[in-house]
Amino acid sequence: MKFYSLNNKAPEVSFDTAVINGIAPDKGLYFPEKISPLSSSFFENIENLSNEEIAFKAIQQFVEGIVPNDVLKDILKEVLDFAFPVVEITPNIATLELFHGPTMAFKDVGARFMAQCLGYFSRSSDNEVTVLVATSGDTGGAVANGFLGVDGVNVVILYPSGKVSDFQERQLTTLGKNITALEVDGTFDDCQAMVKNAFLDKELLDHMKLTSANSINVARWLPQLFYFLFAYKQAKSKDKEIVFSVPSGNFGNICAGLVAQRLGMPVKHFVASTNVNDTVPQFMLTKEYTPKPSTATISNAMDVGDPSNFIRIRHLFQDNFEELKEHLSSFSFNDNETKDALKEIYDIKGYIADPHGAVGYLGLKKYQEQYPDTYGIFLETAHPVKFLDVVEETLNEKLEIPYQIQKVMGKTKKSIKISTYGGLKDFLLKS
């Protein structure tokens, strides 16, 4: 399998080169040369397969010839060692819990998969790789945990000062070893712009090997298709058309779901649910893609004004707007609506969601106004305790602190403050 740049001005490369490069030399995102559907019998019998077997079948074509089958099976065993349950809220609405991993966020899957792949690729090399990543919340913690102690890999995480939750900040600033956190005086978009500038900087690239662990990297992005398949396996018996509602920031997660659909998963529609950072909902209304500065919200991991992966979604549909609209709807919601949704979900079932899951719930309800006979699954992308103040204040309930969070609470935060790209470059050149 080869991967090509969406800017079409760079050579096709193998999976390992795409992962190590992170982004193509022409600054385009990598995309697989083809997506071959899995057999119909795979989906007919999916309930008889383990999660590891499902993941192996789904990802094998993308890594074939680079990651041997036995190594791939070992990687998946390491990556998928926690549950992905679908929990019913109403007869027509359920949530897919993606927070049972080590950092209690959906990004644990992609971060661990990428870390394992990079570790495998660097096994016979003396060259160090620096993983540069911007985070609006959960990416940083998942990447830090996934790459902690991986030989030959240093991780530098940029996060916006004061715009991630306390738990999120502790997860990415307290590990030490090969993990460094840079606290940026700005927004997530500023962090992401710095990362992109670094990949354009010839002086920097001559000095070190850089790659990205944001969802622009194919090894972070593609494995996210696994849990859509895991959810389909659990919901298949409902005998209704399944719809996924995905809380969306950088749009890598929902793009991976659309790839799962291309693999043959019998799910016809996806809802991209956003907070007030509504670049994509506006595009779906106007056909005009107009990025804007991000706005801070209580669902901070979605505070993205120019989602990197939306270009992959447009490419998946060859920029055919009408075809895209058949498969994707997108709605935005404000903080007050999000808090009301948290209360509503709790009142229905006693279920405690996080603000991102609540936005996913709202998008699903909006879609089901027109399509009430569907079975909707919204993604609960992070444990509610990661947004403790908002959730406890909204629901007037005290949350129990899970072990994964407790173990970082007593640790000392260590971060380096920067405010400009020059600060990032100086740090990297001296490291």
Per-residue pLDDT tens over the stretch 333-373: 999 999 999 999 999 999 999 999 999 999 999 999 999 99
| Cα-based distances in Å from 92 to 233, 357, 378 | 16, 16, 11
Candidate from 222-226, 292-296, 315-319 with smallest mean pLDDT: 292-296
Q: How far apart are CA 350 and CA 279, in angstroms?
A: 33
pLDDT at 297 over 70: yes
pLDDT at 123 over 80: no
Pairing of strands 153-160, 13-14: unpaired
Q: Look at residue 416 in the predicted model and tell me its pLDDT.
A: 96
Q: Look at residue 180 in the predicted model and tell me its pLDDT.
A: 96
Between residues 211 and 270, the one the model is more confident about: 270
Q: Look at residue 196 in the predicted model and tell me its pLDDT.
A: 85
**Mean pLDDT of all residues in the chain?**
94
The matching CATH number, chosen from 3.40.50.970, 3.30.70.260, 3.40.50.1100, 3.40.50.300, for 85-104+221-400 is 3.40.50.1100
Residue 294: which of 143, 161, 132, 186 has the closest Cα?
186
Give the global pTM. 0.91
pLDDT at 276 over 80: yes
Q: Look at residue 165 in the predicted model and tell me its pLDDT.
A: 82
Percent of the chain with pLDDT over 90: 78
Reported confidence tier of residue 124, pLDDT bands at 50, 70, 90:
low
Report the first-to-last Cα separation within the chain, whole angstroms: 35
- pLDDT tens for 242-264 read 999 999 999 999 999 999 999 99
The single-letter code of the amino acid at 328 is L
Q: How far apart are CA 82 and CA 321, in angstroms?
A: 38
Q: State the average pLDDT over residues 290-305.
A: 92
Q: Look at residue 231 in the predicted model and tell me its pLDDT.
A: 98
Q: How far apart are CA 118 and CA 169, in angstroms?
A: 25
Q: How far apart are CA 266 and CA 231, in angstroms?
A: 12
pLDDT at 51 over 80: yes
Q: Which residues lie below 8 Å from residue 221, measured CB to CB, with a gap of 6+?
A: 110, 215, 252, 255, 256, 309, 312
- pLDDT tens for 86-108 read 999 999 999 999 999 998 999 99
Quick check: helix, strand or coil at residue 335?
Answer: helix
pLDDT at 138 over 80: no
Reported confidence tier of residue 136, pLDDT bands at 50, 70, 90:
confident
Q: How far apart are CA 87 and CA 95, in angstroms?
A: 5
In eight-state DSSP terms, residue 123 is T
pLDDT at 166 over 90: no
Q: How far apart are CA 270 and CA 289, in angstroms?
A: 19
Q: How far apart are CA 386 and CA 401, in angstroms?
A: 9
Q: State the average pLDDT over residues 405-418.
A: 87
Q: Look at residue 431 in the predicted model and tell me its pLDDT.
A: 81
Q: State the average pLDDT over residues 158-177.
A: 89
